[in-house]
Structures are given as structure tokens and as C-alpha cells.
Amino acid sequence: MLALPAMGGPILETLSPNVYTVFAGQAFTIGGTVFFPNPAAYAFGAAPSTSPANQDEFLFGVSPTGPQLEIVAGVVEFSLLFPGGSGGAIPAYFEDIYGQGGWLGPANFSGPGTTPVSDWRTFIVPVGTAPGVYDYTYGIAFSENGKAASEDTLFATGLQVDVVPTPEPAPVVLIGLGLVLLAAFHRFYAKKSPRRSSGIGTNKSRL
């Protein structure tokens, strides 16, 4: 039986979109597409034989002051800091590895082909993060026919998290809120105060 030839090329992970505008403390979900080059059965996550296990997703901070993002599901399996940068063409300042849940994309895919755009993972920007644009690289591990993928995987570069200042309440909104509270205050005390009779129409005249 002849084996199907590989189409060649790496597994290619592409963000769509790649820029996410959020407030500090806000959750956001990244997503994109994955191209699989070979006629093979691909599955999300590192191959069962991979050691250590559960190293399924990777986040690299490529801004010197970029915060380590929080996750809403799964486990941070491993975290490594590079205070001076890791070196290389795209130096990283930290690396976080996730596993055991939180993946939102397709669990299986038959190659060759490209997945539809889908959600990948939900992050939270830590409370107190200063406004600014922070750059990251995000990567996903896949197995191929139950084993480690035979080709390279190109992680999704260019992930930008644009943290914007939390807007202050507008003066009109504050005035409106004050009027509502004042009206509620008057209604509350009007119910609490005893009513007094004026006496009009209640006294009978004596002849």
C-alpha cells in the first residue's frame, strides 16, 4: 500500500483578529485558523507520549512590560520568566504553558486543510494593568496520527492586547443618578413619616 505523500510545509497558526482592545480586569477571547499540511488525523494537544504531559498551549510575552495574562479555565502547567529577554529574532520576556482545559477550538481535524475561524482561549487582563499596547505570541500543540507532529509548527505571532483607560462616568450620567437617588430618598421617608389629619371636615359644630 502506497503512503500518501506529505504536502509539505509547517502547521500554520494565524490569529483572526490579532488586535484586542480591552480594559484592565476585562476578559477577552482570542481566535483564528490553523492550517494542517498533511493528509493525516490531527488532534488538539501534545501527543500522549510527550513528557512532561499537558503542555498544550503556549503564551510568550514579547513586550518588556507586558503582563502575564490570567486564564478562566485550565491550568498553568509551567511558567518561566526572562527578565532581560530570551534573545532571538522575537525575544520573549515570559513563557506560560497551559493544559487540562480551557481550549475552545476544534479537538480534531483531518488534513490537509485549514480550519474555519474559531475561538481558541479566553484570557483576562490583570486588574491594575497600565494602559498600553502589549505584544504576545500564542501557540498550540497538535498531535498527528496519535504521535508528535512530523512537521514544524509556526505559532501565531502579532497578538496585540490594547489596554485602554477605564472611562470615567459622564457628568450627565452622574446628575441623572443623583436625581434618581434623591427621588428614592424622598419616597422612602414619605412612607416612614406618619400622616397628620388636618381636622377639616372632622369636627362637628355644636349648637
Please state, in angstroms and rounded to a whole number, the distance separating the CA atoms of residues 80 and 201.
86
Confidence (pLDDT) at 90:
85
Confidence (pLDDT) at 162:
98
Q: Collect the ranges in the chain with pLDDT lower than 70.
A: 1-8, 170-207
Please state, in angstroms and rounded to a whole number, the distance separating the CA atoms of residues 109 and 170.
49
Confidence (pLDDT) at 159:
98
Confidence (pLDDT) at 206:
42
Confidence (pLDDT) at 185:
61
Confidence (pLDDT) at 51:
86
Confidence (pLDDT) at 178:
65
- Rounded to the nearest integer, the mean pLDDT of the chain is 86
Confidence (pLDDT) at 205:
41
CATH class of 11-164: mainly beta
Confidence (pLDDT) at 3:
32
Confidence (pLDDT) at 9:
86
pTM reported for the whole predicted model: 0.78
Confidence (pLDDT) at 203:
45
* Cis peptide, bond prior to residue 112, ω within 30 of zero: yes
Please state, in angstroms and rounded to a whole number, the distance separating the CA atoms of residues 7 and 10.
10
Please state, in angstroms and rounded to a whole number, the distance separating the CA atoms of residues 57 and 81.
17
